């Protein structure tokens, strides 16, 4: 019985580790921002974002669009303000994410796109305030898909919004996204998962 209880506890720990939402550290020239992603609510957007993180696409890019009191946006241009090549665009999940409670509120991370609803690729933005107008159905019947939340470093995003801007909402001095990396799971959860799966 004791052996069964231990095995069940290890299995539960393993499930907890698997179910934990991924976190990504955005190391910027203004400081670090840690974001939590929501794969259950926004599977396509999260998988897409993590692909770009793992391929180092974001390293050395800039936050090319800053609108105080609205959003800071990045992920698509290098330091020379040249657009980086991307993977294929993804399906817009705004309706699904909205139904699951994810809104374009302050501190939430969402996919940027063009006027075409299914055009999102690598670009993302952080909401600086509650932007209800961006939620499904928004002004075009589609809205903008939220897929994560700032856990720490919202003050960094606020600092970005204070820089001098050029026409087109471009920062006069580039705000660099030095690197983006997925953070490792907590040691105790990782070890519990390993123990339960080892043979």
Q: Average of pLDDT values for 3-12?
A: 46
Quote the mean pLDDT of the chain.
Answer: 89
Please, are residues 45 and 144 in contact by the beta-carbon 8 Å criterion? no
pLDDT on residue 8? 45
Q: Tell whether pTM > 0.75.
A: yes
What confidence tens digit (pLDDT) does each residue in 17-52 have?
456 999 999 999 999 999 999 999 999 999 999 999
Look at residue 18 in the predicted model and tell me its pLDDT: 56
- Residue 186 and residue 99: Cα distance in Å, rounded? 30
User: pLDDT digits over 90-144, tens only?
Assistant: 999 999 999 999 999 999 999 999 999 999 999 999 999 999 999 999 999 999 9
Asked if 113 and 73 count as a contact pair (C-beta separation under 8 A), the reply is no
Do the Cβ atoms of 67 and 169 come closer than 8 Å? yes
Mean pLDDT of 80-87: 96
Burial class (CB in 10 A: 0-12, 13-18, 19+), 123: buried
pLDDT band at 185 (very low <50, low <70, confident <90, very high): confident
Residue 16 pLDDT exceeds 90: no
Write out the two tokens for 37: 């992603």
Model confidence at 187: pLDDT above 90: no
pLDDT at 186: 63
Beta strand extents in the chain (DSSP E only): 23-28, 31-37, 61-62, 65-67, 71-74, 108-111, 124-127, 146-152, 165-166, 170-171, 176-182
């Amino acid at each position: 019985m004791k052996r069964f209880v231990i095995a069940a506890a290890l299995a539960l720990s393993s499930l907890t580790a698997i179910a934990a939402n991924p976190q990504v550290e955005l190391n910027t020239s203004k400081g670090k921002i840690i974001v939590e992603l929501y794969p259950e609510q926004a599977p396509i957007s999260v998988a897409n974002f993590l692909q770009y993180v793992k391929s180092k696409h974001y390293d050395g890019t800039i936050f090319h669009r800053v609108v105080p009191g609205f959003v800071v946006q990045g992920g698509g241009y290098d330091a020379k303000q040249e657009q980086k090549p991307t993977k294929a665009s993804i399906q817009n999940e705004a309706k699904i994410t909205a139904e699951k409670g994810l809104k374009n509120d302050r501190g939430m991370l969402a996919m940027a796109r063009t006027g075409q609803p299914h055009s999102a690729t690598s670009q993302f933005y952080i909401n600086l305030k509650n932007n209800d107008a961006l939620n499904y159905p928004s002004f075009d019947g589609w809205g903008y898909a939220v897929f994560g939340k700032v856990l720490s470093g919202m003050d960094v995003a606020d600092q970005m919004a204070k820089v001098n801007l050029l026409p087109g909402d471009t920062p006069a001095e580039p705000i660099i996204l030095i690197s983006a990396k997925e953070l490792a799971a907590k040691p105790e959860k990782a070890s519990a998962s390993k123990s339960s799966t080892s043979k």
